[in-house]
Amino acid sequence: MNFVRRLSFLYLATGLAALSATASASTPAAGLAYPATDYFEQSPGRSGGVLRVTSDYEAGNLDIQFNNSGGLLWEGRFLFDNLVYLDHTGQPTPWLARSWTVSPDGRTYTFHLRTDVTFSDGTRFDAEAVRANFARVKSFGAKSRVAGANLAPYAEGLVIDDFTFQAKLSAPFPDFLGYLAQTWLGFISPRQIREAPETIPTRPVGTGPFILGEHESGKRAVFKRRADYAWAPDYLRHPGPAYLDEIILEAAPDDHARIAALRDGRDHLTFDALTDQVAALKADPQIVYSNRLRPGSPQRGFTFNAKRFPFDDVRIRQAVARVIDREALIRSYGYGEFVAKSDFLVSNTPGYDPSFRSVLAYDPTAAAALFDAAGWTTRDADGYRTKGGRRLGAEVLTTGSERTPPIAVLGMQADLKKAGFELRLKFVKSAELSQLVTAGEYDTITGAWWSANTPDVLFIQYHSSQKARQNTFGQDTANLGDPTLDTLLQRARESIDATERRQLYREAQRLLTELVPVVPLSESQHIVAYRRELHGVLFDTTHNTPILTAAWLDCR
């Protein structure tokens, strides 16, 4: 009850502030195509300087092959490199692999590797290093929720010679190269894997442009420039080491303190800039403000358990999705920066089809008809719908710290109450939440997002084969088990015909608006701000988050 009162206070206080702020805050740029120049270095920078960076949290566990913390999307780029890098259109380009060939059946990928790369412990990067890393990911099984899911079709690796590696897949997988560009499939020193694997979460050794120095897990991390680094992706047009001597990352969960430190110059960049000070940030001539879409899945409000009352009735899921007033809701906490979303792929994800973007849009009349059709036609003294003496309602499990803001949970609860649906909040600890999800003991949980530059993110989240990796970020948490959707997604991920794949993903997006495994809430957006003396901030072509390999400080 104390938790509910705390959320209620937050909802009122933050909501009022947000509504006053939205008048002056603009929405993100309407165009989904970002300039190509956002992704590669325009001119050489100046070496030296210490960059002070904040986020509302630090990933803590830096084992990219095991952990699934969203902060690793950008934090991992300091330490790790990948076989390939994407250009700004999503096409793979050389990185640690100089070139590759794909067999006609799409099951064998042969990579020709760079010969000049070393890990920061001196170990050579070679074909055996690739094999050892992929073997480690596979050894985790379902415990590796992101890297393991991305590498699932990988069956075995062959070391052809020192710098030629062959990946054998169990089935064609046209998105294989795209997944190999994701942070999660960067490389850890095979010596560390072999001799000291227990040190990987807090002292990982990679081939990246920085080396981890001081690390206070979850609170602070110091990244020091690697002077001999010379193998950034060709596409970055940055041939040598990073310019910055050091990056100091501090976890700063207090929004106001984080933004104050940025504006007064104590810090240079924050990876979390959405606060009630958005308007002031945008108006500050010393600040660059950036709001970008991360491709993949939208931010979700709820994830249903489709095998449990009342969400085992698809009409109830459809009704709940249509009774949420997303536009009003995100105004209450998004300060005019979030874009409402009611379909299942972020709008800049390859293969996204906008045809279904309004199917689940706010429509309380349609929602009421669906509740009625499901037989919930009478109301009790409190205004909640009933059937056979039973009240229509469900329990949502929340820790209060998921990526769905508490204010959003309360807003959705209020919308549901108007429609006669009782949403009961149950506060649990993070470990308990994971246990309950694994056991299937939940009606609904709050949502999250998933970054992937491919519509195959739908397979990872909604195909029944992903149940073994079920977690609070997605991966069949909805327990759909729909054979038609499974078939569509399996065929789409294996088809080597681009036209067929596009049509299959289109049909999957349409079907999801009927099945409604989750309530989409808003686009997945990453909002950052940095001072104008920081130059060369580029954006990662895979996740659309900042990459600092070419960043430099003008300290004059």
The answer for 39, left when phi > 0, alpha when psi is -120 to 50, beta otherwise, is alpha
Per-residue pLDDT averaged across 101-112, rounded?
A: 97
CA angle 31, 33, 35 (to 5 degrees): 115
Which pLDDT score is estimated for 406?
84
Torsion on CA atoms 96, 100, 106, 107, rounded to nearest 10:
-60
Instruction: Report H helices in 305-346.
Output: 314-323, 326-334
Radius of gyration of the chain (CA): 24
Question: Does an H or E element contain 412, and which?
Answer: helix 406-418
Which pLDDT score is estimated for 434?
85
What percent of the chain has a predicted confidence (pLDDT) above 70?
93
**For the segment 439-456, what is each residue's pLDDT rounded down to a tens digit?**
899 999 988 888 999 999
Is 90 exceeded by the pLDDT of residue 30?
A: no
The alpha carbon of residue 83 and the mean position of all alpha carbons in its chain are separated, in whole angstroms, by 21
Two structure tokens written together for 260: 């104050």
Yes or no: say if 119 and 191 are a contact pair by the CB < 8 Å rule: yes
Which pLDDT score is estimated for 447?
81
**For the segment 262-291, what is each residue's pLDDT rounded down to a tens digit?**
999 999 999 989 778 888 999 999 999 999
Phi, psi dihedrals of residue 242, rounded to the nearest 5° = -65, 155
DSSP H helix total and E strand total for the chain: 16, 27
Please give the Cα distance from 337 to 274 (Å, whole number): 8
pTM above 0.95, yes or no: no
Yes or no: say if 172 and 91 are a contact pair by the CB < 8 Å rule: no
Which pLDDT score is estimated for 472?
64
Of 430, 478, 475, 495, residue with least CA distance to 148: 475
Per-residue pLDDT averaged across 337-351, rounded?
A: 95
Instruction: Report H helices in 141-217.
Output: 147-150, 176-180, 190-195
Which pLDDT score is estimated for 476?
77
Please give the Cα distance from 401 to 414 (Å, whole number): 20
Please give the Cα distance from 424 to 345 (Å, whole number): 28
Two structure tokens written together for 397: 């499990």
DSSP classification of residue 352: -
Is 70 exceeded by the pLDDT of residue 41?
A: yes
Per-residue pLDDT averaged across 187-191, rounded?
A: 98
Q: Which residues pair with 340 in a beta bridge?
A: 522
**For the segment 70-86, what is each residue's pLDDT rounded down to a tens digit?**
889 999 999 999 999 99
Cβ-Cβ contacts under 8 Å for 427 (sequence gap 6 or more):
3, 4, 398, 399, 400
b/e per residue, 296-320, with b = 16+ CB within 10 A?
bbbbbbbbbbbeeebbebbbbbbbb
Is 80 exceeded by the pLDDT of residue 19?
A: no
**For the segment 482-527, what is each residue's pLDDT rounded down to a tens digit?**
999 999 999 999 999 999 999 999 999 999 999 999 999 999 999 9
Q: Which residues pair with 212 in a beta bridge?
A: 223
Which pLDDT score is estimated for 26?
34
What percent of the chain has a predicted confidence (pLDDT) above 90?
81
Q: Which residues pair with 97 in a beta bridge?
A: 113
Please give the Cα distance from 332 to 121 (Å, whole number): 49
Yes or no: say if 199 and 142 are a contact pair by the CB < 8 Å rule: no
Please give the Cα distance from 173 to 324 (Å, whole number): 37
3-state helix, strand, coil in the chain (%, to 5): 35, 20, 45
What is the overall mean pLDDT for the chain? 91
User: Picking from 39-48, 329-338, 463-472, which range would have the lowest pLDDT averaged per residue?
Assistant: 463-472
**DSSP codes of every residue in 470-496:** -BTTBSSTT----HHHHHHHHHHHH--
How far are the Cα atoms of 16, 22, 278 from residue 27, in angstroms, in the given order?
Answer: 18, 9, 11
Is 70 exceeded by the pLDDT of residue 473?
A: no
Per-residue pLDDT averaged across 376-384, rounded?
A: 97
**For the segment 404-447, what is each residue's pLDDT rounded down to a tens digit?**
778 889 999 999 999 999 999 999 998 898 889 888 999 999 88
Q: Residue 546 in 3-state DSSP?
A: strand
Is 80 exceeded by the pLDDT of residue 475?
A: no
Two structure tokens written together for 327: 């536009």
Of 151, 56, 163, 71, residue with least CA distance to 117: 163
Which pLDDT score is estimated for 68?
86
Going along the chain from its start, the domains and CATH numbers come out as 41-250+526-553 (3.40.190.10), 296-450 (3.10.105.10)
**For the segment 168-181, what is each residue's pLDDT rounded down to a tens digit?**
999 999 999 999 99
Per-residue pLDDT averaged across 389-409, rounded?
A: 88
Two structure tokens written together for 61: 């566990």
Q: Which one has a higher pLDDT value, 532 or 255?
A: 532
